[in-house]
Chains A and B, each alone.
Chain A
């Protein structure tokens, strides 16, 4: 059976789809920024305040062992119940941030721990406070080991934003589905969107891969 391709429906709706891409990028950038702050805070708190370690581990393991989609839907439903704002975009941001925070805190923690204790001792011996040691000595060295996995997470996050379509965030995937249904031409629309994702994601993936190799730690 021959299928007759006709991409007119894509061209005429391109602005609509590109707006979705904008939301995708926005969602990724905002969630990653907040997620980085959250992840770093948690990693530092976990190292400093060993008493609430259990609570932190619970948070981290829960968000890593359950699907992101479930987290998105859960939070989307939970927010109205707590009386907070329920704009889908921000629900998605919250869910993505919490999810990212869990993964990033582990990445930060591993990076921080990888800096040898002697470095910390040297900083303390000079009379630095633990905070100063973290800021001046440890973190700059940890960053080298943290960047590759974070770059990887960015690429993953970019694709994961597609799940926000399930809670009606008007990003690219959501618009792709709406459009397919509206125009009855899922083949062209979905193929075009797949290509669009590929064209944006693939270069980023290669860059992340390059970063991984370039910052291979040479001791």
Chain B
């Protein structure tokens, strides 16, 4: 960056726009948080579906994953926002469409993480539980879930970070998160680089610690996802 541009970083204009950007940042965090929770629920449900004894259930779960992981999030969001309302007759705000789209997309990745975690719990433990007279549900609850939860924590954290970054794509369907706010302000201020740099810094401020956490968890619980 040239010196002139660098000096402008501290110009009053930035500080003037900062609250506006922070509102967008708050939306980013809010959307990410909601989607993470919802996607987790979706992920658990579909993961259990994948492990179901019924072929139909497994097939549907498999189809869901395959489809949502083989198309770009951008296309999914645009489809939910523009096409879905025409099909169902119900209109949606961009925020609703964004949350739905992001949830379904991230849910498909979380499904795989949960499934791997559950499968990684040694069958010996399950057999031991059964031998003690536990029901399937009890075995799952007491033995599988706690161990699975610990093992998938590293990958889960990684996916949470991905979700946070992917929330920026919601700007394309005009959800007023951080990137959208910055872009809407740029034509007014004509200081694109400064705005975008602040956006990057804000993402980094949250993203980097989460990445560090994920790394630390990965190092402590080295766990092969490929199974």
Chains A and B touch (C-beta atoms under 8 A apart): yes
How many residues of chain A are within 8 Å of chain B by beta carbon?
42
Measured CB to CB, the nearest residue on chain A to B81 is A186
| A58-83 contacts to B (CB < 8 Å) | 61-62, 64-71, 73-74, 77-78, 81
- In contact, A198 and B211 (Cβ under 8 angstroms): no
Query: What is the CA–CA distance of A215 and B75 in the complex, to the nearest angstrom?
Result: 32
8 sampled A-B residue pairs with Cβ under 8 A: A62-B204, A81-B193, A162-B73, A163-B74, A176-B75, A197-B75, A198-B70, A202-B66
Q: Is the CB of B200 within 8 A of A186?
A: no
- Chain B positions within 8 Å of A187 at CB level: 82-83, 86-87
- Contact of B19 with A by CB under 8 A: no
Q: Which of B130-138, B144-152, B166-174 contacts A (4 or more CB under 8 A)?
A: B166-174
Number of B positions contacting A (CB below 8 A): 42
Instruction: Determine if A74 and B83 form an interchain contact, defined as CB atoms under 8 angstroms apart.
Output: no
0/1 string, A43-66, CB within 8 A of B gives 1:
000000000000000000110111
- In the bound complex, residues from chain B placing their C-beta under 8 Å from that of A3 are 86-87
A24 CB, nearest partner CB in chain B, Å:
10
A158 to chain B, nearest CB (A): 8
Q: Is the interface of A mostly helix, strand, loop or mixed?
A: helix
Chain A nearest CB: distance from B219 CB in Å?
Answer: 12
Enumerate A190-205 residues with CB–CB distance to B below 8 Å: 190-191, 193-194, 197-198, 201-202, 205
Report A's interface with B, CB cutoff 8 A.
1, 3, 61-62, 64-71, 73-74, 77-78, 81, 148, 159-160, 162-163, 165-166, 173, 176-177, 180, 186-187, 190-191, 193-194, 197-198, 201-202, 205, 212-213, 216
Partner of A160, one of B5, B72, B208: B72
Residues of A within 8 A of B74 (CB): 162-163, 165, 173
